[in-house]
Amino acid sequence: MQNNNRKVFDNLISRTKIYLAIILVLLVIISIQNVRWMVPSIITLLLVVAYTYFANNKRKNEISETLQDLTISVDSAAKSTLINSPFPLLILETDGNIIWRSSKFVSEFEKIDMNPYIDDILEQIKEDIQKGKHIDKHAKVPQYLEKQIAIQDKTYRVIGKYAHSNNKEKKAKKEYMVMVYFIDITENVILQQKYKDTRSCVEMISIDNYEENMQLLDAEEKPQIIAEIDKAILEWTNQTNGILIKTDHNRYICVFEQRYLETVKEDKFSILDKIKEINTREKIPFTLSIAVSNEGDTDKEKYKSAQTAMDLVLGRGGDQAVIRENDIYRFFGGRTLEVEKRTKVKARVVAHALENLMKESDKVMIMGHANPDIDAMGSSMGIYRLAKSLGKNAYIVHNGESSALDNFKVELEKEPEYEDVLISKEVALENIEENTLLVIVDTHKRNFVEAPEVLERIKKVVVIDHHRRSENYIEDATLTFQEVYASSAAELVTELLQYAETNVELKTIEAESLYAGIMMDTKNFTFKTGVRTFEAAAYLRKCGVDIIRVKKWFQSDLFSFNKIAEIVKSAEMVTESIAVAIHPEKEKDTSIVCAKAADELLTISDITASFVLGDMGDKICISGRSIGDINVQVILEKLGGGGHITLAGAQVEGMTMEEAKQLLIEKIQEYMQEIEG
């Protein structure tokens, strides 16, 4: 403003000089015309110059006085604004020295010890300065502070601007002075929380084994059992004050406000156990699958999100619940064994659909999980034979990195047909066409397949797996055959081969690889076996399986046996029935050794679950085994792994063996507290 006034004054002086020049010219002209006017003209010019000088000085003084008054007024207003600020105001230095408090600050926090809050603010400022946040590119100093803090029953938005301290010593030490405003946003926070609390959550409830159990109940008992189930579900959902609607004979939808979501979490879905307590004459337990979601802007989007979560729960075997919140899944329950499905209708339907997909495709590629075992390889070979029976070119993507298949590969090399069937990832990528079908076996995880790049390139995908579904599953598969009741992927593939319309003649090596896959995952038909497991094994025996030859594939040398014995010897009991052991040696088949050691630990009395950790160099693998009383899958899911109740695995990175062991023990104790609580 001062610069503008100075320009006005300078312009005024410039115009006066022009006027004086004009007057001078006129007086000179008059004097030339009449000499007598020369003296009066000089006198007149001197008078005009004197007056102009006097007037300009007077005007200059008036402008200076006006500017001075204005500056004083602005300074007074600024000081008055600070002193009488409607917000609590604090001026302090980063060394903790408080320079000034406003009267509003004193009255607002009169009965509150503000030292902890001020220390917290100073710590935030120092952290920002150290990290170089909010740096002014020209001034090279941090400029702004913004933070939300709760002081007793109120919430404040703390904002401020800071700069170098005026004190030379403090400036040299890079100390800063900060002016901090405390703005009360309690009402806004309450309104935001109220809005969040009143948003809706969609809950889906499904009775898992409704059809199977109803067939076993007497006609007069069915209405009574249904009424008991309906009553139990209604009483449980009443705690959320939600709306419950029965959409089908075994399906329910409940909509409730988000404020009750914490209540549901704390309850840990007690309805799962209450339903299993309903007594029937045949002692048949009913189980539920529950999915809750609050993701989406509309109720329709939340319904779709809950449906996706329900698919995930059913893919994990049911008898559990999941909450999908902020794109994160949290699981509850799932402590009982999967119930074998007695109907084979789905296997027939999938077999027919798979045949049609193969017929419509120009080429078929088959892929298992990374570092494949005999279950993955056997399943791949079974699907390969189905594709060849349909006259299709088929290939198995295999990178050759699997010590678990060393003995098997010796036999496979004797088969000339398979010389060009097993291809690398690079060859597979070169041969992908627009109408290529990809069949993935023994895994459903997108990041766990043998070659993720191949999965990304192929549009038509079929998934055949027996593991409980985890979060990172392949969502866009054209066809999914995921049955958690099955012992192995080999069992599922064997069923598909039996029900295919095309006559499939398995080679002996193919039948034996499928049989070996079932043997491996059932631990010689000891764990996770059902009627359909033995039916699949019987079908394979008819195809010419040599059990002695298959048995040799699983044999290990004396050195490996002693290594496993040392691991078992080092095991320690972390609970009364759970053992943990460590395999410290770094080798290429660490995961296999750990798995065998975990299996061996279960042969010891009083051990119902075992975990073995192994060093793989860049990561630590964990193999978990159980006889069924402990759900090792739930435990290892907490570490990013997965699997089944009786067989699971995980891999952790960025920690030492001892740190991984302690973390595993923590998760085991956490699991035990959950089932006991």
The whole-angstrom separation of Cα 229 and Cα 215 is 16
Average pLDDT of the residues of the chain: 81
pLDDT band at 496 (very low <50, low <70, confident <90, very high): very high
The whole-angstrom separation of Cα 17 and Cα 49 is 10
In sequence order, which ranges of 572-631 are alpha helices (DSSP H)? Answer: 590-601
> Sign of dihedral through CA atoms 250, 253, 256, 261?
positive
Q: Report CA Rg, the chain.
A: 41
pLDDT band at 236 (very low <50, low <70, confident <90, very high): very high
pLDDT band at 592 (very low <50, low <70, confident <90, very high): confident
Nearest residue to 354 (alpha-carbon basis) of 443, 454, 437, 456: 437
Question: What class, spelled out in words, does domain 89-193 have in CATH?
Answer: alpha beta
Residue 611: half-sphere exposure toward Cβ, Cα within 13 Å: 31
Q: What is the pLDDT of residue 4?
A: 47
Mean per-residue pLDDT, 84-100? 78
The whole-angstrom separation of Cα 356 and Cα 390 is 10
Mean per-residue pLDDT, 111-124? 83
The whole-angstrom separation of Cα 272 and Cα 268 is 9
The whole-angstrom separation of Cα 581 and Cα 566 is 10
The whole-angstrom separation of Cα 37 and Cα 23 is 14
Nearest residue to 133 (alpha-carbon basis) of 142, 124, 120: 142
Task: Specify whether the backbone of 134 is left (phi greater than 0), alpha (psi in -120 to 50) or beta.
Answer: left
**Is residue 458 over pLDDT 70?**
yes
Q: Does 345-553 match 89-193 at the fold level? A: no
Q: Which residues pair with 623 in a beta bridge?
A: 612, 649
What fold, for 202-333?
A: Alpha-Beta Plaits (3.30.70)
Percent of the chain scoring above 70 in pLDDT: 85
DSSP 492-551: HHHHHHHH-SS-----HHHHHHHHHHHHHHHTTTTSS--HHHHHHHHHHHHTT--HHHHH
In sequence order, which ranges of 523-656 are alpha helices (DSSP H)? Answer: 531-542, 547-553, 558-569, 590-601, 632-637
Contact 202, 303 (CB under 8 A): yes
Superfamily designation of domain 345-553: inorganic pyrophosphatase (n-terminal core) (3.90.1640.10)
The whole-angstrom separation of Cα 242 and Cα 257 is 7
Mean per-residue pLDDT, 664-677? 83
Mean per-residue pLDDT, 27-40? 74
More confident residue, 561 or 174: 561
- Type of residue found at 328: I
Pick the CATH number of 558-676 from 3.60.21.10, 2.40.50.140, 3.40.47.10, 3.10.310.30: 3.10.310.30
More confident residue, 171 or 265: 265
For the segment 41-60, what is each residue's pLDDT rounded down to a tens digit?
777 777 777 777 777 777 66
Contact 343, 510 (CB under 8 A): no
Cβ count near 224 (within 10 Å): 13
**Is residue 14 over pLDDT 70?**
no
Angstrom distances, CA of residue 59 to CA of 7, 11, 55, 527: 14, 13, 6, 106
For the segment 351-371, what is each residue's pLDDT rounded down to a tens digit?
888 998 999 999 999 999 888
Q: What is the pLDDT of residue 76?
A: 60
Contacts of 559 (CB under 8 A, 6+ apart): none
pLDDT band at 245 (very low <50, low <70, confident <90, very high): very high
pLDDT band at 244 (very low <50, low <70, confident <90, very high): very high
The residues spanned by each domain of the chain are 2-83, 89-193, 202-333, 345-553, 558-676
The DSSP element (H or E) to which 433 belongs, if any, is none
The DSSP element (H or E) to which 61 belongs, if any, is helix 38-83
DSSP 365-425: EEE-BSS--HHHHHHHHHHHHHHHHTT-EEEEE--S--GGGHHHHHHHTT-GGGGTTEE-H
Q: What is the pLDDT of residue 335?
A: 59
More confident residue, 174 or 570: 570
**Is residue 433 over pLDDT 80?**
yes
Mean per-residue pLDDT, 640-668? 86
Q: What is the pLDDT of residue 62?
A: 62
Nearest residue to 608 (alpha-carbon basis) of 635, 631, 629: 629
Q: Which residues pair with 145 in a beta bridge?
A: 160
Instruction: State the SS3 of 331-353.
Output: EEECCCCCCCCCCCHHHHHHHHH
The whole-angstrom separation of Cα 335 and Cα 671 is 10
Pairing of strands 436-441, 363-367: parallel
Phi, psi of 22 (to 5 degrees): -65, -45
More confident residue, 440 or 45: 440
The whole-angstrom separation of Cα 387 and Cα 396 is 11
Contact 286, 213 (CB under 8 A): yes
The DSSP element (H or E) to which 28 belongs, if any, is helix 2-33
Contact 369, 450 (CB under 8 A): yes
**Is residue 90 over pLDDT 60?**
yes
> Sign of dihedral through CA atoms 9, 10, 15, 17?
positive
Torsion, CA 216, CA 221, CA 223, CA 225, rounded to 10: -80
Q: What is the pLDDT of residue 169?
A: 56
Task: Specify whether the backbone of 521 is left (phi greater than 0), alpha (psi in -120 to 50) or beta.
Answer: alpha
Q: What is the pLDDT of residue 67?
A: 55
Q: What is the pLDDT of residue 253?
A: 94
The whole-angstrom separation of Cα 313 and Cα 206 is 10
DSSP state of 589: T
The whole-angstrom separation of Cα 318 and Cα 339 is 9
